[in-house]
Chains A and B, each alone.
Chain A
């Protein structure tokens, strides 16, 4: 693993080799000032109207946990929660999140790993891990809604928006079922 993977870009401290200024001033399309609660924190961010929520999260707020896999809602890697409902951030306009609460994978871990993350880790349910943030977001919303131990069949139904190309899903289903037991117990 290289150094840069661990560091946020501003920490990299690259000297600027490109001393020459841009040749032309370019007008960006008008940006809107959006305010939203992201992972419990109020944030204000400026983004043009044609930016998706995914683009704002990844490229403006540097919340790179949500991934872009297919461009248009076919893979689920960009899944986040908006006011508690799991949805595809690549098909959500950033303005639609204005004034709302956004939860991304970065918000899952407090002092401890979330039971879903822990079960996924234990089951080795993440191989390349690229679909995993989306899977976690969809699964968390599903388990919260169910509030009880779920069956493998229910997991497959609920998770059928999220593609994983590595695992054959088996271990992900194991992990979600295991986590549902821990989460249901924690509630009682």
Chain B
């Protein structure tokens, strides 16, 4: 069997203890473990201590902060809890949907939203056993110095494969990061960068404590679409999240602001330029077509995950248009 590397463990019960624990050199946080443990079994990291946040009760709450106009989701909330929360589903259907589509039911019972927003990037050449990687001489993200996806590429293009991240970005969410320096807020749109080796701006000793989603002040609609080969277990091979602020709450309302975010392209989720949508009617058939066209034009999948990039690019168009149409149904 595939064994975990040797490490120690800590199980803090408060945020303070957690901060202290992960300040130790070689410490690494484990939440649901559904992403980290396979990576550890693959010997992609070698932490000296795993710090589990499963006993920090403060991180496991969903709260509606009406004063600040925010939905605050504790990083330790599981994807099942999030997907099944009736209030979240009523107000943030795209987030609820994305959380409920992650991998498989058992993975969602374990995986947390904090883990999902910090999900390590994925690539067909890196999420393999140590033996397998040794057969291709490793890559930029593992033991080697080449990229197998982009020949001669100098930066890692492993794919951001979280379902929830594009949705949260499209909803304008921000993160509360806690570390030895205290807490800071960072917009999710700014949290990711294009280096697949370390694709977030999470500082050393810092962890994500909360995900905050602004409660829309104006009428709005949001949608999420993804393609996987199987209907369960698989990571997304394309994903698209969209959010439209509207002049009124109706299917034929006019779009006043739009945000579309694509996942699974490279390390960074891609927020598209969609100014052309403002002023269009949501249910105008040409709107759905334009949404598809924008995704196709600006989204350029790579061969970093299975199934041909060219096909996946075409599917961006189809799945984006459909996500919008489903929104109206």
Contacts and interface: CB of A to CB of B under 8 A. Distances in A.
B104 A91 contact: no
A49 B7 contact: yes
B1 A68 contact: yes
A50 B54 CA distance: 16
A3 to B, nearest CB: 26
A73 B6 contact: no
A152 interface: no
Nearest to B108: A161
Interface stretch (B33-41, B150-158, B242-250): B33-41
Given A68-B1, A93-B50, A96-B52, A73 B9 contact: no
B11 A91 contact: no
A104 interface: no
A85 B105 contact: no
B63 interface: no
B109 A71 contact: no
Interface in A1-36: 29-30, 32
Interface in B21-76: 30, 32-34, 37-38, 41, 50, 52, 54
A93 B52 contact: yes
Interface residues of B, number: 30
Contacts of A160: 104-105, 231-233
B2 interface: yes
B5 A71 contact: no
A14 B242 CA distance: 65
A60 to B, nearest CB: 14
A48 to B, nearest CB: 7
A46 to B, nearest CB: 14
A86 B109 contact: yes
A87 interface: yes
Tell me whether chain B's interface is mostly helix, strand or loop, or mixed.
loop
B251 interface: no
B265 to A, nearest CB: 24
Give chain A's interface residue range (CB within 8 Å of chain B): 20 to 34
A86 B1 contact: no
Given A50-B7, A92-B33, A93-B33, A79 B54 contact: no
A79 B105 CA distance: 11
Contacts of B182: none
B106 interface: yes
Contacts of A48: 6
A80 B220 CA distance: 41
A49 B50 contact: yes
Contacts of B215: none
A30 B231 CA distance: 42
Interface string B141-178: 00000000000000000000000000000000000000
B110 interface: yes
A6 B68 CA distance: 63
Interface in B220-264: 231-233
Given A52-B4, A160-B105, 15 more contacts: A30-B8, A50-B3, A51-B4, A73-B37, A76-B106, A79-B106, A85-B109, A87-B106, A87-B109, A91-B33, A95-B9, A138-B106, A159-B105, A161-B105, A161-B232
14 contacts: A50-B3, A50-B5, A50-B7, A76-B104, A88-B106, A88-B107, A91-B33, A93-B52, A96-B33, A138-B105, A160-B104, A160-B105, A160-B232, A161-B105
The 9 A-B residue pairs with the shortest CB-CB distance, nearest first, are A160-B232, A161-B104, A161-B106, A71-B2, A49-B9, A72-B38, A50-B4, A91-B37, A29-B6
